[in-house]
């Protein structure tokens, strides 16, 4: 019936992809235990989260709460063309973001609240985090419970597993396990369904696939629940659990944080083509189309967002000249960015070549 | 597990090692295979005869990562520089990058990992090898860590 939280494993990559990022240093250090972000910029929040869980001493408990304006967040090793419905994405003007941690695709908007919780290793217990979130939800007069697998439930339905995440896996010394989850409060479930639908069965991709789970909003059970109420409740339970007397530290896109090298470069990297598309695992996309002049099958092979090869076969209606032309188009696309065929490429092409280029461009953009 | 400490002498073909491609080379000569480690939890098994190194991740790394669900390998024929990101590993717990421990040309990758990423858990230092690199600067091996030094990076 009702999955209250969309949990994915929030696992931070141990180092950034580019070599320059590996030497990034921060001039600031996280001094607090509880952070609430006032920013709704996903690029800021995801980068701040990454910075926070990397720079906080692992022996200290840590909580971060935030929400983002509408965006689709895909996992580190996922294929956006497979996970995201680009037609709906462009129509809605919503961006997609590749986060630095692994796992599947989720939808964020102001109706869902993200929480990341780290509990110190010595006291780490699979159920500790689930219990904190459970107590917070129950304090808001929602009759939730945790099942034996630490899923938060309302009613008896099986809910998604609560996954432990580890940050910086290779750097075992700094290893810190944390839970990342999303609490759906009043999220646009219809938009979520549109954006995450892709149905590209003939796209065979390497990488990590998403698992679809039924979800519902907390507001279904309590009309008075809100982001602020949920944040206050989680902060309250977290302070109780760890005897923390300090208040939550409110953060935002302040000069101090934005001026930090790690955060500044991290925020610049997330929306870049090299990160968002260029980190896509290898895939192959096979498509067919009937034109007035013949039937065509195309197969596009791509890795890291670059077209490695593109073969175009005329199945019906072909001849030596046409086959040669198709071969030439395939060669011309090699090395180009997948999904980014320039206007100039298409405008200059006439006849069958023009048809093919326009078709391929369309197929790659959705 | 860590049976070859830092530098060991292996005589071939008296011993066959399953999975590792470089160790099957040079059948009649005595080859010195040096096993070195990086702080990124990678291993290079360097063959001083062919100047090639087989790259894998340590048993310690795989056990920390948990069940591996995806491995991205470098492209055969590509030139890599020490420290470059050459691949990625994602497990049920974490997503991590793989860095080139040495510079050179990627001669071969372990294609089995594409369909059997779990090999990295079952046999990280043998059947779960990642790639084989022809070193452009063999002296880079000297600057890598010994087993003892590697262990010190996470045992404290």
Q: Domain for residue B145, yes or no? A: no
CA dist list (Å): A280 to A70, A80, B41: 22, 7, 24
Nearest to A102 among B61, B90, B156 (CB): B90
- pLDDT number for residue B19: 64
Q: Domain for residue B42, yes or no? A: yes
Instruction: Return d(Cα A62, Cα A71) in angstroms, integer.
Output: 25
> Under a CB-based contact definition with an 8 Å cutoff, are residues B64 and A166 in contact?
yes
User: Which of A170, A283, A302 should be substituted to probe chain B, the one whose Cβ sees the most B Cβ atoms within 10 Å?
Assistant: A170
Distance from CA of A280 to the nearest CA of B (A): 10
List CB contacts (< 8 A) between A208 and chain B: 69-70, 90
B95 to A100: CB separation less than 8 angstroms, yes or no: yes
A170 to B95: CB separation less than 8 angstroms, yes or no: no
Q: What is the pLDDT of residues B61-74, one digit of tens each?
A: 888 888 899 999 99
- pLDDT number for residue A152: 75
Which 8-state DSSP code applies to residue A122? G
- The strand pairing partners of B32, in sequence order, are B9
Domains along chain A with CATH numbers:
3-276 (3.30.930.10), 283-363 (3.30.390.50)
Q: Domain for residue B115, yes or no? A: yes
Place B156 in a pLDDT band, splitting at 50, 70 and 90: low
What is the pLDDT averaged over residues B133-141? 96
Tell me phi and psi for residue A76, to 5 degrees. Answer: -50, -40
Does the CB of A226 have a partner CB in chain B at under 8 Å?
no
Instruction: List A residues 264-283 in contact with B (Cβ-Cβ < 8 A).
Output: 281-282
Nearest to A77 among B61, B84, B90 (CB): B90
- pLDDT number for residue A366: 85
- pLDDT number for residue A171: 34
Q: Domain for residue B35, yes or no? A: yes
- pLDDT number for residue B22: 52
Q: Which domain holds residue B96?
A: 30-138
Instruction: Return d(Cα A32, Cα B108) in angstroms, integer.
Output: 48
B64 to A175: CB separation less than 8 angstroms, yes or no: yes
Q: What is the pLDDT of residues B8-59, one digit of tens each?
A: 333 333 334 456 665 554 455 667 889 999 988 999 999 999 999 999 999 9
Q: Domain for residue B109, yes or no? A: yes
Q: What is the pLDDT of residues B94-121, one digit of tens each?
A: 788 889 999 999 999 999 999 999 999 9
A320: Cβ contacts below 8 Å, ≥ 6 apart: none
B72 to A281: CB separation less than 8 angstroms, yes or no: yes
Per-residue pLDDT of chain A (366 residues; tens, 9 = 90+): 333 333 333 333 333 333 334 446 677 888 899 999 999 999 999 999 988 887 888 778 899 999 999 999 998 899 999 999 999 999 999 999 999 888 888 899 999 999 988 876 545 555 777 788 889 999 998 888 887 766 777 775 433 333 333 333 333 334 556 677 888 888 888 888 889 877 789 999 999 888 777 677 888 888 888 999 999 999 999 999 999 999 999 999 999 999 999 999 999 999 999 999 999 999 999 999 999 999 999 999 999 999 999 999 999 888 999 999 999 999 999 999 999 988 888 887 888 999 999 999 999 998
Q: What is the mean pLDDT of chain A?
A: 83
CA dist list (Å): A199 to A74, A194, A195, A265, A358: 16, 11, 11, 34, 21
- Which CATH number belongs to the domain containing residue B64 in this structure? 2.40.50.100
Does the CB of A74 have a partner CB in chain B at under 8 Å?
no
- Environment class of B29 (CB within 10 Å of its CB; exposed 0-12, middle 13-18, buried 19+): exposed
B95 to A15: CB separation less than 8 angstroms, yes or no: no
**Number of continuous H segments (helices) and E segments (strands) in chain A:** 13, 16
Instruction: Return d(Cα A100, Cα A40) in angstroms, integer.
Output: 18
Domain count, chain B: 1
Instruction: Return d(Cα A248, Cα A110) in angstroms, integer.
Output: 20
A172 to B93: CB separation less than 8 angstroms, yes or no: no
- Environment class of B28 (CB within 10 Å of its CB; exposed 0-12, middle 13-18, buried 19+): exposed
User: Which of B42, B61, B72, B90 should be substituted to probe chain A, the one whose Cβ sees the most A Cβ atoms within 10 Å?
Assistant: B90
- pLDDT number for residue A187: 87
User: Which of A102, A124, A168 should be substituted to probe chain B, the one whose Cβ sees the most B Cβ atoms within 10 Å?
Assistant: A102
Instruction: List A residues 37-66 in contact with B (Cβ-Cβ < 8 A).
Output: none
Instruction: Return d(Cα A257, Cα A135) in angstroms, integer.
Output: 32
> Under a CB-based contact definition with an 8 Å cutoff, are residues A118 and A56 in contact?
yes
Does the CB of A104 have a partner CB in chain B at under 8 Å?
no
- pLDDT number for residue A158: 37
List CB contacts (< 8 A) between A102 and chain B: 90-91, 94-95
A9 to B94: CB separation less than 8 angstroms, yes or no: yes
Q: Domain for residue B21, yes or no? A: no
Instruction: Return d(Cα A278, Cα A296) in angstroms, integer.
Output: 28
Interfacial residues of B (vs A; Cβ cutoff 8 Å): 40-41, 60-61, 64-65, 69-70, 72, 75, 83-85, 88, 90-97, 99, 114, 153-154, 156
Answer with the residue of higher pLDDT: B80 or A1. B80
Q: Domain for residue B18, yes or no? A: no
Question: What's chain A's Rg over C-alpha atoms?
Answer: 23
Strands (E), A119-277: 145-146, 152-153, 165-167, 176-184, 203-205, 249-251
Q: Domain for residue B95, yes or no? A: yes
């Amino acid at each position: 019936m009702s999955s209250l939280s969309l949990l994915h494993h929030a696992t931070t990559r141990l180092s950034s992809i580019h070599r320059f990022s590996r030497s990034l240093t921060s001039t600031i250090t996280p001094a607090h235990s509880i952070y609430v972000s006032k920013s709704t910029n996903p690029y800021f929040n995801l980068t701040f989260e990454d910075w926070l869980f990397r720079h906080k001493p692992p022996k200290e408990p840590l909580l971060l709460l935030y929400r983002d304006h509408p965006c689709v967040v895909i996992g580190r090793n996922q294929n956006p063309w497979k996970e995201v419905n680009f037609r709906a994405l462009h129509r809605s003007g919503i961006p997609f973001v590749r986060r630095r941690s692994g796992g599947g695709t989720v939808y964020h908007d102001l109706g869902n609240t993200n929480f990341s919780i780290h509990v110190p290793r010595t006291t780490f217990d699979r159920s500790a985090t689930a219990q904190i979130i459970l107590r917070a939800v129950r304090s808001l007069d929602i009759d939730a419970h945790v099942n034996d697998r630490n899923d938060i439930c309302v009613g008896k339905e099986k809910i998604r597993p609560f996954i432990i995440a580890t940050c910086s896996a290779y750097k075992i010394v700094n290893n810190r396990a944390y839970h990342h989850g999303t609490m759906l409060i009043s999220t646009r479930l219809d938009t979520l369904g549109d954006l995450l639908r892709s149905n590209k069965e003939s796209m065979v991709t390497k990488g990590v696939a998403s698992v679809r789970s039924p979800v519902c909003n907390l507001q279904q059970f309590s009309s008075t629940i809100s982001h602020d109420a949920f944040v206050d409740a989680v902060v309250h339970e977290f302070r109780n659990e760890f005897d923390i007397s300090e208040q939550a530290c409110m953060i935002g896109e302040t000069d101090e944080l934005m001026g930090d090298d790690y955060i500044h470069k991290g925020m610049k990297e997330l929306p870049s083509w090299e990160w968002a598309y260029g980190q896509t695992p290898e895939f192959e996309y096979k498509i067919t189309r009937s034109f007035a002049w013949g039937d065509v099958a195309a197969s596009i092979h791509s890795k890291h967002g670059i077209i490695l090869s593109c073969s175009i076969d005329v199945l019906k209606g072909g001849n030596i000249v046409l086959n040669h032309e198709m071969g030439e188009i395939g060669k011309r696309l090699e090395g180009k960015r997948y999904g980014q065929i320039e206007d100039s490429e298409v405008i200059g092409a006439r006849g069958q070549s023009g048809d093919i280029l326009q078709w391929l461009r369309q197929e790659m953009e959705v | 597990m860590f049976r070859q400490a830092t530098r060991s002498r292996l005589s071939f073909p008296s011993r066959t090692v399953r999975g590792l491609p470089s160790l099957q080379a040079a059948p009649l000569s005595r080859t010195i295979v040096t096993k070195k480690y990086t702080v990124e939890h990678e291993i290079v098994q360097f063959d001083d005869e062919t100047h090639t190194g087989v790259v894998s991740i340590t048993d310690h790394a795989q056990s920390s990562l948990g069940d591996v669900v995806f491995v991205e390998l470098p492209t055969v024929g590509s030139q890599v520089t020490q420290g470059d990101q050459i691949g990625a590993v994602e497990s049920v717990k974490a997503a991590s990058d793989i860095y080139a421990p040495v510079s050179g040309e990627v001669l071969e990758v372990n294609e089995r990992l594409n369909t059997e990423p779990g090999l990295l858990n079952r046999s990280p230092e043998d059947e779960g090898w990642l790639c084989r690199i022809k070193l452009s600067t063999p002296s880079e091996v000297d600057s890598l860590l010994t087993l003892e030094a590697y262990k010190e990076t996470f045992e404290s």
